[in-house]
Amino acid sequence: MESRWNPLYESLGYRPPATGRAAPEAPPPEDTDLPLLGPEELEALKSAFLREPEDVLRWTESGLGARVTVGAFVEVLRELELLFTDPGQFQERLDATERHARQGTGGLPVDFTFPLKTEEIPIDPTRTRFEPQADLRGWLLFSGPVWLEQGAAVRQAPFRWHFGAKSRFVYPMREPEPGQPVEVALFADFGTGEYASRYIARQLVMRGERLDCAVHLGGVFYAGRQGEFDAHVAEPLEPLLGTTSLLTLNAPPEMRSGAGAYFRYLDERRGAGRRHPQEGSYFCLAAERFQLIGLDTAWFEAGRHREPALLQWLEQRLSEGRRRGAMNILLSHAAPYGPDAKQLSPLVTEDLRALVVEREWVDLWCWGGTQAGALYDRAPGLPFLGASLGHGGFPSERRDAPDYPAAPVRFFESRPRFPEWTGVRQDRGNHGHATLWLHADGTASLRFTDWMGQVRCEATLSRQGPKGPVTLKTLDVRE
């Protein structure tokens, strides 16, 4: 990648990997970073598009999850050709595009503010980075190789199993005490480095020692490269490492670069101290009354969890938790269902059906991936509470609560990114994260907070009787 480095990549938001990182405890993973789209790949892409335009568009739309027109694709091919043949003209076009965007939005009102607002994190509402259609150029440049090779462009880093680990990937979690609950932050699809993500990180950091644990449910964009981990995850979350256990899950964006940077980040963080014990891409944080179980739903197959050894490990964790009466909280990047999905995911209908549906061993399931903030109730065939947390940083479209959800919706983040009175970016959904408080009496509190620090929803979760289901005891949704 160094041989084709172009300074203009930095103007498009990409930084090369940081140097001088501390040596990890374990041997470093293989360097599996997805290569950037270069001149040769661009020519191959153009040839493929001329030869089979429908196939190329289908691959691109599958990777983006959004519609791409022929005209938009051709325009981006021309821009990328300028990047390699006439960088000066490309920069002029880039500057003109940015000026036009600023004129179109008019900027934020001068009186727009919120308690955590700081000049250290500037807010530019004209930025469209990572938006599936507006940033098609960036997606092709930074993720195009893996899509156009249909997933075969990068070697995968070796998977890490619990077999040889003394911990078996099970780590102790502090027991909550009266007046001193365990506080856990949960967020997903955070790895963009954009201002909304950085304000979420600022909220976490300001909670300091009160925050026992923070879990990123995966999603580092564009493709989980080392430079993207450095800039979008390691840098904003660095201040947490001295006070808070930080764990991260694997996700399809990380797999575009073979998960090498993901595993390297685990090793570097573990080297920062005993607060960060995570050795592999799945884990269990266990206390007497609660346990948090993180799954890898990306390494073997996107959105699935059906490897026999992983299922056996999960069954043991859930069984032990149920035997001692603990609240089993499942964490994953992949979702068991989406906001509008009439067809449930194979993750819940096939892979985990015996454990989750038939035995009812999961009380609360928190996931990313769906780019929506939502709280769902139990439903027939879905005997668990659900929290969708994929609104951490990815710029998804604003949407209303679904008319026909898979499970009853108790909260759905339908606000725009900025307040309606600003008139700015009303097309993009609001960003945020969730916090869990685990109490000594076995109850849990769940709070959704947006990127500006406004509380959007609060709920109390408690078990009905010694062996009954965990249900929503109280619910307060802020309009």
100-104, 192-196, 319-323, 449-453: which range is least confident on average? 100-104
Q: How many angstroms separate the CA atoms of 355 and 383, rounded?
A: 11
- Residue 242 CA to residue 113 CA, distance in Å, equals 30
201 alpha carbon, distance to own chain's centre:
13
Element (H, E) at 40: helix 39-51
Which run of H or of E encompasses 373?
Answer: strand 373-376
Mean pLDDT of 409-425: 96
Tens of pLDDT, residue by residue over 305-326, are 999 999 999 999 999 999 999 9
Q: Residue 91 above 60 pLDDT?
A: yes
**Gap between the Cα atoms of 444 and 438, Å rounded:** 5
**Whose CA is closest to 428, among 133, 198, 11?**
133
Residue 419 is encoded by which pair of tokens? Answer: 């307040």
Q: If you average pLDDT over every residue of the chain, what do you get? A: 90
**Tokens 């172009």 correspond to what residue?**
6
User: What are 361-405's pLDDT values in tens digits?
Assistant: 999 999 999 988 999 999 999 999 999 999 999 999 999 999 889
| DSSP designation for 350 | I
Question: Quick one: pLDDT at residue 274?
Answer: 75
User: Comparing 27-41, 76-90, 101-115, 143-157, which segment has the lowest mean pLDDT?
Assistant: 143-157
The mean pLDDT of 91-115, rounded to a whole number, is 77
Q: What angle do CA 304, 307, 277 make, to 5 degrees?
A: 90
Give the C-alpha distances (Å, rounded to integers) separating 354 from 68, 252, 293, 357, 361: 39, 25, 17, 6, 9
3-class DSSP assignment, residue 76: helix
Q: Is the pLDDT of residue 25 over 70?
A: no
- The mean per-residue pLDDT over the stretch 207-232 comes to 95
CB 79 within 8 A of CB 137: yes
DSSP state letter for 240: G
